[in-house]
Structure 1
């Protein structure tokens, strides 16, 4: 298996991700990954909030850069944008949440309720431009599902310093190096957002879920998590 893994890692990151998303055999990664090596991480995405969404994510990480990442998702609200991120927190459980975290008892998880499980956003997996947490709510730059599915691919995403990730010091800021190390060590969680609960074809502030807890100008339907998986 090690021999095959080394051979595969010899090809470009883009080819590696494409092969993996095409149902190539699972590949092992170094149990003690060092910064200077390619680390291959995979996540099986399972539904949250009864969305019916699922998928798979493959990432190749080296040093403080995601050399390539691919996501294949299905069962999503059709023809709608879906924000997606890598979450991580030094004090989080770094796993997918359950309804046990539904603190207000409304029967669904919003993004903030899931933070103790998956941590804050450390990378915005959008289609263009800035990929830092500053872009985590720019819904217009995230993939749009065509009939409920999409294939996402992006290269060379740099990790950044992120405040609020729970590290000791002012603001609990984690450095890019610290966050990259944690992701390589299988502590990052991929989360996809966006659930048209009533199936009316749009995310609406007037729907029963109301406004997002993250931004009152956005519907909760646009930001509620719908699929989640640990990169390992």
Structure 2
């Protein structure tokens, strides 16, 4: 009877540890982290603008803060997070100008940054389907963008790509002829009803791990819990569970 009880206790303890281990392994696969991109002018497109984007990843949700200046004032600027498994995970270079036009359109930048995975709209849908939802993107009053949106749901693949530093933030909209508006005879490669100026990439930056100390996302974002505290609490719960299991097993032994 004692041998059976001891084996039962050992089996219970092993099963508990295996269950806890599986839970910890599953938790480890969830994307989590703070990333930041410095937005600089896209090669060849003659933009004198700059900015910063910050993205906090928590599981399958992201919080985004972005600020930029020097863009075409009072005009809609589509902005996205781009990612493609086969992309170079970087901003386009002058050598990406495949048609020799002397400027880069969105398609030519694709091999560098990949397709749209998140549309940084101010309201409503944030999927790639809203990539050209002109009425829901920032219009850059005075040439400046101040954007903040939290709890955007993304796929696990996209969340992991952002956390791994493989995604790129691109803000579109340039003024090639310098007349203060989107126009010109060349049509957009994305929508022929628009001039290419409206959709050509303006500024770009790769999202990489943020500096130590974390990212300040502002008042509208969702805060990320302290990892050290979470680990400490997790460790305490594991010890408590193991202790409770052992105590229950000892009680069963005493009754036998």
TM-score by length of 2: 0.68
Q: CA deviation at 1:202?
A: 2.0
Summarize deviations over 1:37-89 as a string: whole Å, max 9, x none: 641100000001120111001111111110x2111101101111100000000
Unaligned runs of 5+ in 2: 1-26, 209-256
Aligned partners of 1:54 and 1:75 also within 8 Å: yes
* Alignment correspondent of 1:212: 188
Summarize deviations over 1:108-152 as a string: whole Å, max 9, x none: 000000000000000000100000000001111100111111211
1:222 pairs with 2:217 = no
* Greater fraction helix: 2
1:92 pairs with 2:92 = no
Distance 2:81 2:101 in 1: 26
Inter-CA distance 37–135: structure 2 relative to 1 (3 Å threshold): closer
1:122 pairs with 2:137 = no
Q: Secondary structure at the match of 2:161?
A: helix
* Alignment correspondent of 2:227: none
Inter-CA distance 177–47: structure 2 relative to 1 (3 Å threshold): same
Q: Secondary structure at the match of 1:109?
A: coil
Aligned partners of 2:76 and 2:138 also within 8 Å: yes
Q: CA deviation at 1:34?
A: 4.4
Q: CA deviation at 1:198?
A: 2.1
Aligned partners of 1:192 and 1:226 also within 8 Å: yes
TM-score by length of 1: 0.75
Unaligned runs of 5+ in 1: 1-32, 160-175
Distance 1:82 1:213 in 2: 16
* Alignment correspondent of 2:100: 105
Q: CA deviation at 1:177?
A: 1.4
- Kindly report which structure 2 residues correspond to 1:1-80, keeping only aligned pairs within 5 A, or say none: 34=28, 36=30, 38-48=32-42, 49-66=45-62, 68-80=63-75
Aligned partners of 1:35 and 1:63 also within 8 Å: no
Aligned partners of 1:35 and 1:62 also within 8 Å: no
Q: Secondary structure at the match of 1:151?
A: strand
The total of aligned residue pairs comes to 180
Aligned partners of 2:31 and 2:60 also within 8 Å: no
Q: CA deviation at 1:200?
A: 2.4
Q: Which has more radius of gyration?
A: 2
